[in-house]
Amino acid sequence: MSAKTKVTIHDIAEKLNITASTVSRALNDNPRISDATKKAVLKTAKQLNYQPNNIAAALRNGKSFIIGVIVPTADRYFFASVVRGIEEIANNLNYKVIICQSYDIYEKEVQTIEALLNARVDGIIASISKNTENFDHFKKVQSKGIPLVLFDRTTDELEVSQVMIDDYLGAYKSVEHLIQQGCKRIAHFTSTKKVSVFKERLRGYTDALRDYEIPFDEQLVVRSNLQLEDGRESMETLLKLKTMPDAVFSSSDYAAMGAMQVLKERNIRIPEQVALAGFSNEPFTSFTDPTLTTVDQRSIKMGNITAELFFEHFKSGDKAFVPQKTVLKPELIIRNSTLRKG
Amino acid sequence: MSAKTKVTIHDIAEKLNITASTVSRALNDNPRISDATKKAVLKTAKQLNYQPNNIAAALRNGKSFIIGVIVPTADRYFFASVVRGIEEIANNLNYKVIICQSYDIYEKEVQTIEALLNARVDGIIASISKNTENFDHFKKVQSKGIPLVLFDRTTDELEVSQVMIDDYLGAYKSVEHLIQQGCKRIAHFTSTKKVSVFKERLRGYTDALRDYEIPFDEQLVVRSNLQLEDGRESMETLLKLKTMPDAVFSSSDYAAMGAMQVLKERNIRIPEQVALAGFSNEPFTSFTDPTLTTVDQRSIKMGNITAELFFEHFKSGDKAFVPQKTVLKPELIIRNSTLRKG
DNA sequence: AAAGGTTGCGCAATCGTTTGCATTTTATAA
DNA sequence: TTATAAAATGCAAACGATTGCGCAACCTTT
């Protein structure tokens, strides 16, 4: 059809014997343009198969209507849901969201930030990579006056708005639940101390033990990267102890799953001999046998709130915006892996 | 620090008493610029905290170095992996990938295409939404001379390059395997006939039955949206038949999982009474009990190939590029849900 | 020493939209 | 009818980077 792939507002203007200014205003529904002209412009635009060029507009406006979202990985239910929650709000306000994955690699995170900056996104929402210990790239974003909001994986080294769940509470409730089920020797799978979510969950774990007067045993805290395989290894480690634990509270559903596999292979009954609780409420947790007790992180809600916070920040025009910290209450999902009947 | 958030090549030029042209060339490592000047420019750029503006460059070049990828949803392992495979290739060639989700909603898909077109992406890679029956928006992309490649969920209504797995073969092998395990009454969960992948899998199913001289029974083919809940309902439906099936080949792992739940609730033994096979090799399929036999779709590989095909298309400059169709061989992953011992 | 080649850089137009400030046209009031 | 306000549109300069062409200055060759 239209071989000429470059129809601009000038072409429309020419055809209508008006100027590009008028066409631009007409397309943007500017009140200063008569309805008749608007109609004509719209019609001609359609007819010429006109395609707006956001790049030109963005250049002129210094505004791209795009916000960049950086997540460690998009294939985890939690992150995917948060993104969905963000999109809901953003799309409503006519903003587009571009999703970027850091794959939990620090260098990639830095590169991604740089790319987003170059692309002149209007703002950035991110969940920090697990391996990030230097935050200069985020500081750079802020120093350029670009709105930045962090969610879930945040840090205190940045003066930035953040949204997270109360990991401490989620952990505390999990462990409390395990104790109420009669568990007395509760192990914990965790990861690096650098990431606050893991630190908080560990704190919830220890505090619950303390409150219920269960002695803390260093040996029962196993650190790893919390993937499935790590969970398997961690469980093996625990099983080698002189006294086996009677419960595991894992900071990750995947690691909990690994533990479940090992236990089943050894015919150790869940939850009778060892109760098992995870964290995140990944969809598969309701598919396992037994179904896995876990903590729901209110992901969609978190996305909504993050986006709302972002746009608040946005409107306040960067001037004197006080970073805000929102903490959501998690929900303990009790399933069969911890429910000792009778 | 730098309050002036708008450092351009002109600022660099001014400070160095040269012109913006030279700065531009220096930054792009143009051989016509002396090394001394390049060094100086780089240094000053760093010093002034210069941030390249891709928008301006894109406007001038008519090239954004961004390719849009549209997937139904990013939280499915298969799609996430394909995206990863695409990114691997694209990033290597200095292209950025922006991920968009259609959420399997036709209107959203159309909007997304429009947004990508407006954003002047250099090309689009997509997997069609389940509910799309009109392909005008894709035709529009092509008519504008923008490279388009489809993967997995494709259509014959478009003259376009596409990459998919041999769904027919995957289905055939699954059903053949079930037959070899002694199943004689094999049901099939499928979805709309509009989507070729489901059509092909259905064909593989019927052909395998035919080749092994097992009568085809219309009642055993259950259509749904293939989510978990759909799988449950479909299984319930099957159980109401006068003669129960002794196997189910599901076009989706989720639906297979739903069926598994129902069967377990009714204490029907898997695979002895009913064998179960899914499709896609979602990670959770190895977490279920019994583990679920399924078909791996070579997702990363598919992403790689899709991207390579895309860039071929790209280089050939749109002129006389013959759409290419690549079909990958799927791999049958045999697990316990179909393995009848002895 | 003159002709031709290199090297290094500047000029100015261009990409497509937007917008402040005219300017023209039309409607209203005196 | 004329001054005046209101309405509709035009002019031209941005936004920031790129690039074809041109022009010095310097080097080589015979």
pLDDT in tens, B50-65: 999 999 999 999 999 9
Q: pTM score > 0.85 for this model?
A: yes
Instruction: Quote the percentage of chain B above a pLDDT of 70.
Output: 97
- Return residue ranges of chain A for CATH 1.10.260.40: 9-52
Q: Please, which residues bridge with residue B249 across strands? A: B188, B277
Name the band, by pLDDT with cuts 50, 70 and 90, for residue A299. Answer: very high
Query: Which positions 270-289 of A are in contact with B (Cβ < 8 Å)?
Result: 283-284, 287-289
Tokens of B63: 């090239």
- C-alpha B65: how far from its chain's center? 20
pLDDT at B259 over 50: yes
Q: Is A139 on the interface with B (CB under 8 A)?
A: no
Name the band, by pLDDT with cuts 50, 70 and 90, for residue B77. Answer: confident
pLDDT at A339 over 70: yes
Q: Across chain A, what does the average pLDDT equal?
A: 93
Q: How far apart are CA B73 and CA B104, in angstroms?
A: 7
pLDDT at A95 over 70: yes
Q: How far apart are CA A297 and CA A316, in angstroms?
A: 29
Spacing of A249 CA from D11 C1' in Å: 71
Cα distances (angstroms) measured from residue B288 to each of B44, B51, B264, B270, B336? 59, 50, 12, 12, 10
What pLDDT sits at residue B3? Answer: 41
Q: Between A101 and A6, whose confidence is greater?
A: A101
- Long-range contacts of the stretch A4-11 (C-beta < 8 A, 24+): A5/B144, A5/B145, A7/A48, A7/A49, A7/A50, A7/A51, A8/A50, A8/A53, A9/A50, A11/A48, A11/A50
3-state secondary structure chain B: CCCCCCCCHHHHHHHHCCCHHHHHHHHCCCCCCCHHHHHHHHHHHHHHCCCCCHHHHHHHHCCCCEEEEEECCCCCHHHHHHHHHHHHHHHHCCCEEEEEECCCCHHHHHHHHHHHHHCCCCEEEECCCCCCCCCHHHHHHHHCCCCEEEECCCCCCCCCEEEEECHHHHHHHHHHHHHHCCCCCEEEEECCCCCHHHHHHHHHHHHHHHHCCCCCCHHHEEECCCCHHHHHHHHHHHHCCCCCCCEEEECCHHHHHHHHHHHHHCCCCCCCCCEEECCECCHHHHCCCCCCEEEECCHHHHHHHHHHHHHHHHHCCCCCCCCCEEEECCEEECCCCCCCCC
- Structural contact between residues A124 and A147, judged by C-beta atoms closer than 8 angstroms: yes
What pLDDT sits at residue A311? Answer: 94
Question: Which tens digits make up the pLDDT trace of A176-205?
Answer: 999 999 999 999 999 988 778 999 999 999
Quick check: B287 and A288 CB within 8 A?
Answer: yes
Query: From the C1' of D20, which residue's alpha carbon is nearest?
Result: B21
- Structural contact between residues A13 and A20, judged by C-beta atoms closer than 8 angstroms: yes
List CB contacts (< 8 A) between A105 and chain B: none
Give the mutation candidate from A6, A254, A287 for the B interface (greatest B CB count, under 10 A): A287
Residue numbers 20-59 of B with CB closer than 7 A to any atom of strand C: 20-22, 32-34, 36-37, 56, 59
Q: How far apart are CA B36 and CA A182, in angstroms?
A: 74
pLDDT at A1 over 50: no
Q: Which residue has the tokens 């086996």?
A: A244
Asked if the peptide bond before residue A290 counts as cis, ω within 30 degrees of 0, the response is yes
Nearest to B235 by CA among B201, B208, B198, B274: B274
Q: How far apart are CA B254 and CA B149, in angstroms?
A: 27
- Return residue ranges of chain B for CATH 3.40.50.2300: 61-165+299-329, 167-297
Q: Which of B103, B117, B257 is facing A51, going by the closest CB pair? A: B117
Q: Is B99 on the interface with A (CB under 8 A)?
A: yes
Quick check: B53 and A120 CB within 8 A?
Answer: yes
Decide if domain B9-52 falls under CATH 1.10.260.40: yes
Query: From the C1' of C15, which residue's alpha carbon is nearest?
Result: B60
| Contact between the CB of B21 and strand D at under 7 Å | yes
* Residues, chain A: 342
Name the band, by pLDDT with cuts 50, 70 and 90, for residue A319. Answer: low
**DSSP SS3 for A101:** strand
From the alpha carbon of A32, which nucleotide's C1' atom is closest?
Answer: D8
pLDDT at A262 over 70: yes
| Contact between the CB of B58 and strand D at under 7 Å | no
Q: How far apart are CA B226 and CA B258, in angstroms?
A: 9
Is residue B279 packed enough to be buried (19+ CB in 10 Å), middle (13-18) or exposed (0-12)? buried
Spacing of B9 CA from C10 C1' in Å: 15
| Contact between the CB of A60 and strand C at under 7 Å | yes
Spacing of B32 CA from C2 C1' in Å: 27
Q: Which of A99, A100, A287 is facing B284, going by the closest CB pair? A: A287
Q: Which amino acid is at A74?
A: A
| Contact between the CB of A12 and strand D at under 7 Å | no
Q: Please, which residues bridge with residue B71 across strands? A: B101
- C-alpha A233: how far from its chain's center? 27
Provide DSSP, A51-98: ---HHHHHHHHT---EEEEEES-TTSHHHHHHHHHHHHHHHHTT-EEE
Q: How far apart are CA B234 and CA B227, in angstroms?
A: 10
Spacing of A197 CA from D6 C1' in Å: 62
Q: How far apart are CA B194 and CA B131, in angstroms?
A: 8
- Interface A-B, measured as beta-carbon pairs within 8 A, has a size of 104
Q: How far apart are CA B186 and CA B248, in angstroms?
A: 6
- Structural contact between residues A72 and A129, judged by C-beta atoms closer than 8 angstroms: yes
- Long-range contacts of the stretch B23-27 (C-beta < 8 A, 24+): B27/B52
Q: Which amino acid is at B238?
A: L
What pLDDT sits at residue A131? Answer: 86
pLDDT at A328 over 90: yes
pLDDT at B319 over 70: no
Name the band, by pLDDT with cuts 50, 70 and 90, for residue B289. Answer: very high
Give the mutation candidate from B2, B50, B63, B75 for the A interface (greatest A CB count, under 10 A): B75
Q: Please, which residues bridge with residue A125 across strands? A: A69, A149
Instruction: Report the largest interatomic distance among the alpha carbons of chain B, rounded to a whole angstrom.
Output: 90
| Contact between the CB of B6 and strand D at under 7 Å | yes
Nearest to A203 by CA among A154, A160, A155, A167: A167
pLDDT at A115 over 70: yes
**DSSP SS3 for A223:** strand
Q: Is A84 on the interface with B (CB under 8 A)?
A: yes
Q: How far is A87 from chain B (nearest CA, A)?
A: 10
Average pLDDT over residues B63-87: 93
pLDDT at A318 over 90: no
Q: Is B94 on the interface with A (CB under 8 A)?
A: no
Q: Which of B55, B77, B145 is facing A64, going by the closest CB pair? A: B55
| Contact between the CB of A52 and strand C at under 7 Å | yes
B167-297: CATH superfamily: Response regulator (3.40.50.2300)
For A280, the enclosing helix (H) or strand (E) is none
| Contact between the CB of A53 and strand D at under 7 Å | no
Quick check: B118 and A52 CB within 8 A?
Answer: yes
Average pLDDT over residues B252-278: 97
| Contact between the CB of A25 and strand D at under 7 Å | yes
Tokens of A233: 């290894």
Residue numbers 150-189 of B with CB closer than 7 A to any atom of strand D: none
Tokens of B262: 């129902």
Q: Which of B76, B81, B99 is facing A99, going by the closest CB pair? A: B99
Q: In this structure, how many other beta carbons lie within 10 angstroms of the beta carbon of residue B342?
A: 2
Cα distances (angstroms) measured from residue B57 to each of A100, B24, B31? 22, 10, 19
Name the band, by pLDDT with cuts 50, 70 and 90, for residue B193. Answer: confident
- Structural contact between residues A109 and A86, judged by C-beta atoms closer than 8 angstroms: no
pLDDT at B2 over 90: no
**DSSP SS3 for A245:** coil
Quick check: B51 and A99 CB within 8 A?
Answer: no
Nearest to A186 by CA among A214, A207, A211, A167: A214
Closest B-chain CA to A84: B101
Rg of chain B on CA atoms, in Å: 26
From the alpha carbon of A36, which nucleotide's C1' atom is closest?
Answer: D8
Quick check: B287 and A283 CB within 8 A?
Answer: no
Name the band, by pLDDT with cuts 50, 70 and 90, for residue B1. Answer: very low
Q: How far is B76 from chain A (nearest CA, A)?
A: 6
- Structural contact between residues A263 and A240, judged by C-beta atoms closer than 8 angstroms: no
Average pLDDT over residues A30-50: 95
Name the band, by pLDDT with cuts 50, 70 and 90, for residue A3. Answer: very low
List CB contacts (< 8 A) between A99 and chain B: 74, 98-100
What pLDDT sits at residue B317? Answer: 66
Cα distances (angstroms) measured from residue A223 to each of A116, A187, A233, A234, A245? 34, 11, 10, 8, 16
Q: How far apart are CA B34 and CA A314, in angstroms?
A: 43
What pLDDT sits at residue A2? Answer: 40
Spacing of A19 CA from D5 C1' in Å: 25
Q: Please, which residues bridge with residue A45 across strands? A: none
Q: How far is B83 from chain A (nearest CA, A)?
A: 10
What pLDDT sits at residue B85? Answer: 95
Q: Across chain B, what does the average pLDDT equal?
A: 93
Q: How far apart are CA A146 and CA A317, in angstroms?
A: 10
List CB contacts (< 8 A) between B56 and chain A: 59
Query: Which positions 209-268 of B are in contact with A (Cβ < 8 Å)?
Result: 257, 261, 264
The CATH architecture one would assign to domain B61-165+299-329 is 3-Layer(aba) Sandwich (3.40)
pLDDT at A102 over 50: yes
